[in-house]
Every structure is written in C-alpha cells, then in structure tokens.
Structure 1
Amino acid sequence: MEPYDESSLDEGLVPAHVDPFVEALQERILGAPLDLDRRAVAREVGVSFRTAERFWHALGFPPVTDGAHAFSRTDLKALEIIAELVRSGRLDESTALGLTRAFARTTDRLSVWQTSLLAEALSPWQQGDVELSRAHLAEGHDSTRAEPDESTARAAVSALAELADELEPLLVYAWRRHLTSAVARMVSDADPVAMGPGGLRRCVGFADLVAFTSLVRRLSERELARVVQQFEAVCSDVITAHGGRVIKTVGDEVLFVAKVPADGARIALDLVAAIHADDMLPPVRLGLAYGPVVSRLGDVFGTTVNKAARLTAVAPRGRILVDDVLAQELVDAPGLVTVKQRSRTLRGVGVVTPSLLSPGLGDSLLA
C-alpha cells in the first residue's frame, strides 16, 4: 500500500449539486458531517491518493474533485481499517479491495431495495388514500410509474434515516448468520468424500415466468414492479424452506441450487404449486440439472448450469424438466416421479433426454 504523496493527486470529477435536504439526511445516516476532502482523508490515513481512490472505486463510487468536502470521519475510519489489514500482512491489497467490492455490491442492492420497499409502503396508491392520490395526480404525477413522486420519496428517505440506527444491528446480524452458513458449507464442500467425483456437485434450477414479455406490454410500471417483487418473495420463501439457496434473480427468472437432488426437485414442485396459487403471478416453467458446478463469488457456472437454463427454455407451461442425471438420482426418492421425454438438442449443451418431473401418486402438481 503506497504511502501518502501529494504529487499523486489528480483532478477528479466535479461533484453534482446536492439538495440541502438530501445532504442533511446523508449526514444523519453517516453520523458525521461531510467536512473532509480526498486529500485530507489520504493524508490522515497515510496512504497514497491512488490507494484511497482504488478503495473508493471498489465501494462503487465515482471520483470527486480535489477540495470538495465529500467525505466524513466514517469514510476515513473505513479506509484506516483496510489500510491496517494490508499493512499488517493479514490481507494483500488485491484481496482487501475484493472484499470491499463484495460489501459494496451487496449493500448497494440492499439499500436500493429497502428504499424502494419503503417508498412503495408510503405511496398514497398503496395506502389507498384517495384524496392524497387525487392531489398527486393533480400535480402531474403518473400513478402507473414505479418511481415514487417527490413527496413520497422525501417521506421514505426521512423514515429510513430515522430507522438507520435500529436497522444496522440487523444488517450485521444477518451478515454474521450467513457467514456462519458459508464457512460451514465451504468446509463441507472441501471434504473429498462429500464432494464426490468431478468436484462440487449441485442440483441447479432455473424458474422462468411464462409470457413475461407480453406481461411487460400489458401492465403499468407499478403493476410490473409488484409482480416481480411478489415472484422474488415466493421463490425465496420456497427455496429456503427446503434448504436451497437463491443464487440470483433477474426480473422474471430465478437461479437456485440445492445440495441434495431430491431437495432441488421438491423446490421445483413447490414453486409450481405456490405460483399457481398466487393470482398475481403468471405460470412458471422450470429446468433442473444435477452435476458439477464451479462456485465463484456467490455465483455458479458450468455445463450443469447451462443445461438447467436450456431445459427451462423448452419446458412446458407449468411443468418441470430434469436432465437424465437428476432423473437417475430421483429413482428411489419418495413422492417424486420422472417420466422420460423425447431426446432433443439443446444449444451449447448437445443432445439431452429430459424427463418430466411430477409428485408421486395421490399428489397433484398444481395442488
């Protein structure tokens, strides 16, 4: 980590004008005023400006102009922590910045998610406040838009500033809880007996809402946002109930994994049933595959993932297709039945003979 050097400073970008209301809220959330410029932060921590800038970029923020008071004592403290980890030799700079980037990407989405949720909760249309809704319409706000109007946005961010101190311990708690699960999973996956031949093996599933494109054309932005939010909530509840993990959601799709093949199959069946029972959501189709995966930075890659995605694309409406490997794994699983389908060629995968997955006798797929 390079020491502080005045000559390393460059011009940076001119910061945009900040609304005084927003500036006051930022100070309240940070717990300290924005009274430091980048030169002061780098100097006090004793690192080069370029090191400080790399940390700032890893957090996902653009550069600011020299002399602009865009930093607080909390920013300085965070940089001190990273600098000390590197100086002590506990982390190299690349790893320290990688960990910072992981925090940044996760908390960026978390922050946007939470502000959106609160804005929706405070929306006059969501609350059913007819008079306030009429007033907002009279002001020219479009009630079909997903973004909140100015008064709702200001109310939401004010409420979040009030709640920040209470929510912070929950964030730390959730991180530590997930960290305990992650370390246990890593140790278990490193066991050569548990890992099995071919490396790390997982049941990988893709769930995809049917005819989502036509839904986009038919619904307003606000209605579409509610559909996506409901889809994510249902998927998260069902997947975690069976011990699976949501890897990522992208609008009308969710990617999940399960360690035990039968658990992955039951997730898929319960997703079809739960989404069928939800009047807000269109039908779903799923593809499942079992085999080796490459796990990297919270995501999964490899042929097994590609196969699950391709099977989803050809799965019938409200149905689940599984690859031949998973079908074989499910032969003796109670309450699970697979029926072989015709072979087909999947782009980027090759010839696959999928099977249709359904519950055992006495159960209904759409119960």
Structure 2
Amino acid sequence: MAEQAGTSVEEARLFWHTLGLPTGEAEAVAYTEADAQALRRLHEVAGRYEVSPRTAVSLVRAIGHTTDRLVLWQVEALVEQLAERHGLDDVSARLALLDRLGDIVPVLEDQLIHAWRRQLAAIAGRFAAEFGSARVEGPGEDELPLARAVGFADVVSFTRRTAELGPHELAEFVQQFEARARDVVTAAGGRVVKTIGDAVLFVADDAVTGARVAVGLAHAFRGTESPVRVGMVWGRVLSRFGDVFGPSVNLAARLTDEAQPGTVLLDEATAVLLAAGPRYTRTVLEGREVPGLGVLRPVLLDEA
C-alpha cells in the first residue's frame, strides 16, 4: 500500500492507526487499491497545500473518530430493528444484518456524503455571517477565539433511573433522550456539540438563542420521568476536535450540577446580557461555595 501511494511504510502505518484501524500482520494481505488511493490523495494534497503533518493527522483522526461512532450507531440501530421486527435474538440479528449490508451500504454512503456537504455549507454560512464584516473585531491576544453561549442539560438521577432497565429499555431511554434533546436544540437555533449518555452539550451564536435553547430543554422534559437540569453561560471558547473548551464550558457544567430538576441556571454576567429583553425572568439566588470557583451566585432563568 505504501509503495502504491508513494509514501513510506511509516506514513502508511500512521495513516491507518490515525483512522482508528488495527494494523495486520506484516505479511497479511489486508489492504485494497482504494486504501492506497486514499493515502496517495492525502499525501499529494498535503504536499501541494503545505499541510503540516500535525494538521494532516488531525484531519484523518477526525474522520476516523467520527465514522467509527457513526458506523457503530447505524449498525446497532439496524440490529435492534431486525431483532424487533423478526423476533430474533441479538446474535441472529447481527448475522441477518451481514446478509443485508450489500443493499444497505450504498444508501447510507449517499446519505453520509449528502449530510457532510450540507453541514459544510452550513458552517461556511455561519462563518460568513459572523466574520464577514470588516467591522467585526477579533478576540484579544489572550482571549479564546469564539464568543458562544454554551450549556449543558443533564438527566436527573440517571444512574438510579436506569439501574433496573434491560438492554432494550436502556437503549430506548437513551435514544429518546438524545433525539428529543437534539430536536429541541436545533429547533431553537442552537447546535449539539455532543451527547454523553445522560447529558447534552450545546452551543449557540448569541446569548438570547442560548437562553431559548436552555429554557426549551428544561420545559421539554419537565413533568416526565427524566427531567433535566440546565446550566448556560455566555463566554469565549476554543473549538477543537469537534468539541469546545474553556472556562465558560466548565462554569456551565458546574451550574448544571447546582440546578434543580426542570430549571435553568445562569451566571450573573450572562443574566445581565438578557436583561434588555422582556422574554425571561431572572432570579438571583443565594451565593454558594462551589469547589474550584469560590462563591457563586447563580441566576434562575425562566420564561416571563
């Protein structure tokens, strides 16, 4: 494969490992012409546009990490569907899926390419809207680059509520939570960064949209068997590896821990940004000692 791609064996091995795939025995016939072509194109483009090895590895790792999770998600969903529809046990459902992959793969592949292109167009549009004006001032030298509303929604007592669920019931619970949370976030104008079983991390491009997402999540699960508590902060973040980082992310997580079921907590600075609008009520709560943050005075947010 390295010879056909015009690279060294070390580069080929790094490419394969970065995709998250195991390397076979030295003499194993484990690679295809398509593998060599993918590596060759990456090598050629990296050289043409002077892409650093670090950046090339990051790009390939993004693909490997995302597609690994995507394939697992899709396969498990199809296995579950076959088991339910045909009354199969788990092993039989997985074998049945193998028989059907030839028909399923082209459809999933087309959908993946279509979705990727649409997501790329969407982010290009957001960049143009946010940074296209010459009057937009960038962050200070010591500031994180992106100003965002960032928040968490966390299922209350997730471990206790799911301890007695069987595999099917647990899968149904997590799937319903993720689907409903994503629907609320996107309908309100936010974006889901990631889900972590019992929690969702979201961002929005302005504080008002962030508040709309946060309150929407709290209300969507209020009165259900899986209420959520929400924390939301406006601040600057670093976006890397499909995730966001920074003090505001940590603060939003701490506020989520402090919130009661079905409620939204803000920090005082974010509450001030929302003061001009009549849409929400803001109630300053008693200060409390939060490990690592000192005394914190959360603000309870709700619709007016």
TM-score, structure 2 as length reference = 0.91
Distance 1:323 1:69, change over 3 A: same
Q: Which runs of 5+ in 2 are unaligned?
A: none
Alignment-derived partner of residue 66 in structure 1: 26
Deviation at 1:334, TM superposition (A): 3.4
- Is this contact kept in 2: 1:291–1:325, CA < 8 A? no
The code of the aligned residue for 1:222 comes to H
How many equivalent residue pairs? 299
Counterpart check, 1:173 vs 2:117: no
Q: In the alignment, what sits opposite 1:294?
A: 238
Is the contact made by 1:247 and 1:256 (CA closer than 8 Å) also made in structure 2? Answer: yes
Q: Name the counterpart of 1:230.
A: 176
Is 1:248 the counterpart of 2:207? The answer is: no
Give yes or no for contact 1:59–1:104 (8 Å, CA) kept in 2.
yes
Tell me the amino acid that sits aligned with residue 115 of structure 2.
Answer: A
For 2:11, give the aligned amino acid: T
Query: Pairwise CA RMSD of aligned residues?
Result: 2.0
Counterpart contact for 1:306–1:349, Cα < 8 Å: no
Of structures 1 and 2, the larger Rg is shown by 1
Larger RCO, structures 1/2 (Cα 8 Å, 6+ apart): 2
Given the alignment, which residue of 314, 328, 343 partners 2:287?
Answer: 343
Deviation at residue 52 of structure 1 after TM alignment: 0.5
Query: Gaps (5+ residues) in structure 1?
Result: 1-40, 137-148, 361-367
Tell whether 2:126 aligns with 1:185: yes
1:319 maps to a residue whose letter is T
TM-score for the superposition, normalised by structure 1:
0.76
Tell me the residue number matched to 1:332: 276
Corresponding residue for 2:58? Answer: 98
C-alpha deviations, 1:278-331, integer Å up to 9, x for none? x5x511111111112222232111111111100100101111111111111111
1:1-367 matches, cutoff 5 A: 41-124=1-84, 127=85, 132=87, 136=89, 149-190=90-131, 193=136, 198=143, 199-276=145-222, 281-360=225-304
* Shift, 1:195, TM fit: 5.4
What is the rounded CA distance, in whole Å, between the counterparts of 1:291 and 1:97 in structure 2? 29
Tell me the alpha carbon deviations over residues 33-80 of structure 1, each in whole angstroms, 9 at most, x when there is no partner. Answer: xxxxxxxx1122221111100110111112211121111121111111
Provide the rounded CA distance (Å) in 2 between the counterparts of 1:58 and 1:186: 28
What SS is found at the alignment partner of 1:276? coil
Identical aligned residues as a percent: 41
Query: What SS does the corresponding residue of 1:123 show, helix, strand or coil?
Result: helix
Secondary structure, counterpart of 1:67 in structure 2: coil
SS in 2 for 1:246: strand
The residue identity in structure 1 corresponding to 2:262 is G
Deviates more, 1:70-79 or 1:188-197: 188-197
Deviation of 1:89 after TM superposition, in Å, equals 4.1
C-alpha distance in structure 2 between counterparts of 1:329 and 1:195, whole Å: 20
Amino acid at match of 1:59: L
Give the distance between the partners of 1:221 and 1:116, measured in 2 at CA: 12
